[in-house]
Structure 1
Amino acid sequence: MPRAFHHRDFADLAALVAAKEAAGLRVSLCIPTLNEEGTIARVVSVLKTALFDEHRLLDELVVIDSGSTDRTRTLAKEAGAEVVLASDILPFHGSRMGKGENLWKAVYQLTGDILCFVDGDIGNIHPRFVYGTVGPLIRHAELGYVKGYYERPLLAAEGVDPRGGGRVTEILVRPLLQRFHPELAGLHQPLAGEYAARREVLEQFAMPTTYGIEIAHLLDCQRLHGAGVIGQTDLDERIHRNRSLAQLGRMSGEILDAFFARHPQPVAAPGERPPMISLPEYRERFPAAAERARKSA
């Protein structure tokens, strides 16, 4: 069972920043986006004010955008984020659509020792979505990857089902984990988009460019480091837009591609990017990674 926390455990931001500085850590936040003009300005503003301006928990806050056709990039920049097009990162490696592409390129673009990810469509954004996942990594050196979990209300014609979200998790992913990876079945929200990880963990992962990215992270983390490095934090409730059944169906297919690419004999899933540490450009940008690659060769 992954070690569990509550976001309140890390709500003393002054103490958390002091612990971060004492450990000599840098923390980077990535918000991957595609057409999030309805929420992105508030997401950036709330997190920047609390975690960059008032308390320097974050050393950088970057929106990596997939090519939005609305005002997402403009609004994010006006709110104070650094905004980068995914297609402009590692351009010689091409550009692909998908959330996983943004996260893969974030490992190259961001400079922190701890990388934190938050989706851009959160309607009830709060700093806990960051400090709740970053905190365990600062306080517990043995952890390498921390997922957030929460209640996810489902808006339906009959009203609000307070626990009706997370349909793909309950119908598809949890049964797969219970059958093939029971040591990960205790994760409440294995597909949550809010999580944090150490650079030396993320740089080793091959990453699907699709919605299979989150399940791929977990399986690769377990395979390379063991389930004991994975933690999870209760973030209370997350409100975001609910997706149609057709969208959930496509998402499920992408998750299955990533899952079976790693079980029982891993083969590359369609469109999968290689581990970031395998790129010469990455090893040049982060010399410590080059040394880690040399030692593991």
Structure 2
Amino acid sequence: MISVIIPALNEEKTVSQVVRLAKRSPYVTEVIVVDDKSLDNTIAEAQKEGATVITSTRLGKGASMKDGVLYASNPLLVFLDADITTYQENIVSLLTEPLIKDKADFVKSCFSRQAGRVTELVAKPLLSILYPDFPGFWQPLSGMIAGKKAMLEKIEFEEGYGVDIGILIDMYHMGARIEEVSIGHIENDMQPLEQLGKMSREVAGVILKKSRHKEANNFETLEYIQTIREQMEFAIRESSRQLKKVAIFDMDNTLLRASFIQTAAERFGFRRELLEIVITQTNPFIRTKQIARLLKGKNISELLKLADEIQVTRGSREIVDLLRNNGFIVGLVSDSYDCITNHFRNRFGFDFSLANELEFSKSVATGEVKIPSFFLSHDKSICHHEYCKSHALAQVCSNFNVPVADTLAIGDSENDICIIKKAGIGISFCSSNPLLDSIADYVIKEPDFSLLKSIAG
């Protein structure tokens, strides 16, 4: 009667222990590990313990949780984190007892551990301001929860650090009976200091988003909230102003001073094969798949270390920070590979990255690649090409509710012509393509992002 759902990303060392614990509960008939495209042995370790493993349809805990809810076959669902090994033996019973006895529709856990800084400094103060009648939960950001499948199917699973508080607020709005139960002492890693700002912004952003219908959420209230936590500045600005903007950077020969695949060809000795594919294969789908085969057998460490050897354009961190401070959502869109763009996303603080999905098995490239749907024509497309970066631009604008006119795109190659033409502001950056220069709003020939400052403002 109970399904246990365990979202997991690179948790090979701990996931088997959590699965075993879940399966020991007498009422559990299904344990589902939702793998977020792990690069280690998470899948094998979970399957070895008898868990059903599915792959998340999108990266991120929120998508994994939603996938698990839809896949589960039982009426009562429990979510456990895959990286915690100090759960009490009866963790599932503790979380589900209020549901089984029909005392609650949704159960949040609380536990003893080191103080949660974002909970105390951001979540609780914000909830008290925007939701004066909100129940006084000890740990509103806890990720160990249980609930009725019928209700969990109706809520929105946010992405990032805001997913857990978003679930709680949605349950509150739905009028669910909510209980908080103690699950004892939990030991898990505290977020590093550099992540606290991001966590604060995302948690605050979800709370503000969920409260937009409330009369109290006016500009005066937002000004008061700003004094709670300096890290909330981005979320408050996004909530208190209507206009948002999007800036999209190409990676190869734009953020980087060289092409990743060309650099890989030099390093790994397949320059001749790459040239043959580029010259003879005009179909972008086939070309992408053939090029990916050249990386078969390379492990993730080799690829990331090679990427780090490529020179980065001067002023990269500064321009990303400036754009974000000026209200832009900043991302990478590349026809390279997501393992590389995500690496630079993390390194330079981009908000998102979109690229082809190079597939791995046990951290080694299989030679297969998935071309994501956002590069293909869809109902929100703004051009007629079958495969184009402008389709990704349209999808990003739809996701963030930003008009295409309020976007900035910067690139260097023929593949960037359409996105630079369609964006509100198109920038040709160190390009040798005369057509790209002719359709761009701005042309920059020096590899220095500080030259974008007047445009970014």
Provide the TM-score with structure 1 as the length reference.
Answer: 0.69
Change (3 A) 1:74 1:222: same
Q: 2:217 matched to 1:247?
A: no
Q: Identify the range of structure 1 (107-116 vs 119-128) with the bigger mean alpha-carbon deviation.
A: 119-128
Q: Tell me if structure 2 keeps the 8 A contact 1:30–1:62.
A: yes
Task: Tell me the CA shift for residue 203 of structure 1.
Answer: 1.5
State how 1:166-181 maps to structure 2 within 5 Å. Answer: 166-181=116-131
Letter aligned with residue 68 of structure 2: A
Q: What is the aligned partner in structure 1 of residue 115 from structure 2?
A: 165
Q: What is the aligned partner in structure 2 of residue 155 from structure 1?
A: none
Q: What is the aligned partner in structure 2 of residue 132 from structure 1?
A: 94
Task: Tell me the CA shift for residue 85 of structure 1.
Answer: 0.7
Q: Tell me if structure 1 keeps the 8 A contact 2:104–2:178.
A: yes
Q: 2:178 matched to 1:230?
A: yes
3-state secondary structure, aligned to 1:239: coil
Task: Tell me the CA shift for residue 202 of structure 1.
Answer: 0.9
Letter aligned with residue 105 of structure 1: D
Measure the CA separation in 2 of the matches of 1:45 and 1:214: 24
Letter aligned with residue 196 of structure 2: L
Change (3 A) 1:101 1:235: same
Q: What is the aligned partner in structure 2 of residue 17 from structure 1?
A: none
Q: Tell me if structure 2 keeps the 8 A contact 1:101–1:210.
A: no
State how 1:256-267 maps to structure 2 within 5 Å. Answer: 256-265=204-213
Measure the CA separation in 2 of the matches of 1:38 and 1:209: 25
Bigger relative CO (Cα 8 Å, ≥ 6 apart): 1
Which of 23, 29, 32 is the equivalent residue of 1:59?
A: 29
Task: Tell me the CA shift for residue 252 of structure 1.
Answer: 1.8
Q: What is the aligned partner in structure 2 of residue 82 from structure 1?
A: 52
Larger Rg: 2
Letter aligned with residue 231 of structure 1: E
Task: Tell me the CA shift for residue 247 of structure 1.
Answer: 2.0
What whole-Å deviation, never above 9, does each CA across 1:149-183 have from its counterpart, x for those lacking one?
A: 0011xxxxxxxxxxx33221111111112222233
State how 1:205-216 maps to structure 2 within 5 Å. Answer: 205-216=155-166
Measure the CA separation in 2 of the matches of 1:167 and 1:129: 24
3-state secondary structure, aligned to 1:243: coil
Q: What is the aligned partner in structure 2 of residue 189 from structure 1?
A: 139
Q: What is the aligned partner in structure 1 of residue 79 from structure 2?
A: 117
Measure the CA separation in 2 of the matches of 1:165 and 1:65: 29
Measure the CA separation in 2 of the matches of 1:165 and 1:121: 18
Q: Tell me if structure 2 keeps the 8 A contact 1:192–1:214.
A: yes
Q: Tell me if structure 2 keeps the 8 A contact 1:178–1:185.
A: no
Q: Tell me if structure 2 keeps the 8 A contact 1:64–1:85.
A: yes
Measure the CA separation in 1 of the matches of 2:209 and 2:128: 18
Unaligned runs of 5+ in 1: 1-25, 88-94, 153-163, 272-297
Which of 145, 151, 171 is the equivalent residue of 2:106?
A: 145
3-state secondary structure, aligned to 1:30: strand
Q: What is the aligned partner in structure 1 of residue 15 from structure 2?
A: 40
Moved over 4 A (4+): none
What whole-Å deviation, never above 9, does each CA across 1:211-243 have from its counterpart, x for those lacking one?
A: 2111111111111115xx000111110111222
Task: Tell me the CA shift for residue 185 of structure 1.
Answer: 4.6
What whole-Å deviation, never above 9, does each CA across 1:101-128 have from its counterpart, x for those lacking one?
A: 1111112111111111000011213333
Q: What is the aligned partner in structure 2 of residue 8 from structure 1?
A: none
3-state secondary structure, aligned to 2:172: helix
Measure the CA separation in 2 of the matches of 1:182 and 1:230: 17
Q: What is the aligned partner in structure 2 of residue 291 from structure 1?
A: none
Measure the CA separation in 1 of the matches of 2:171 and 2:50: 33
Measure the CA separation in 2 of the matches of 1:112 and 1:181: 33
Which of 62, 69, 72 is the equivalent residue of 2:39?
A: 69
3-state secondary structure, aligned to 2:160: coil
What whole-Å deviation, never above 9, does each CA across 1:252-273 have from its counterpart, x for those lacking one?
A: 2221221111113289xx99xx
The total of aligned residue pairs comes to: 217
What whole-Å deviation, never above 9, does each CA across 1:64-109 have from its counterpart, x for those lacking one?
A: 010111111111111221111113xxxxxxx2x2111111111211
Measure the CA separation in 1 of the matches of 2:202 and 2:74: 29
Q: 2:94 matched to 1:98?
A: no
Letter aligned with residue 22 of structure 2: L
Q: What is the aligned partner in structure 1 of residue 217 from structure 2?
A: none
Measure the CA separation in 2 of the matches of 1:221 and 1:138: 18
Letter aligned with residue 203 of structure 1: E
Measure the CA separation in 2 of the matches of 1:242 and 1:151: 13
Task: Tell me the CA shift for residue 190 of structure 1.
Answer: 0.7
Provide the TM-score with structure 2 as the length reference.
Answer: 0.45
Change (3 A) 1:223 1:193: same
Letter aligned with residue 12 of structure 2: E
3-state secondary structure, aligned to 2:129: helix
Measure the CA separation in 2 of the matches of 1:31 and 1:246: 26
3-state secondary structure, aligned to 2:77: strand
Q: Tell me if structure 2 keeps the 8 A contact 1:34–1:66.
A: yes
Identity over aligned pairs, percent: 31
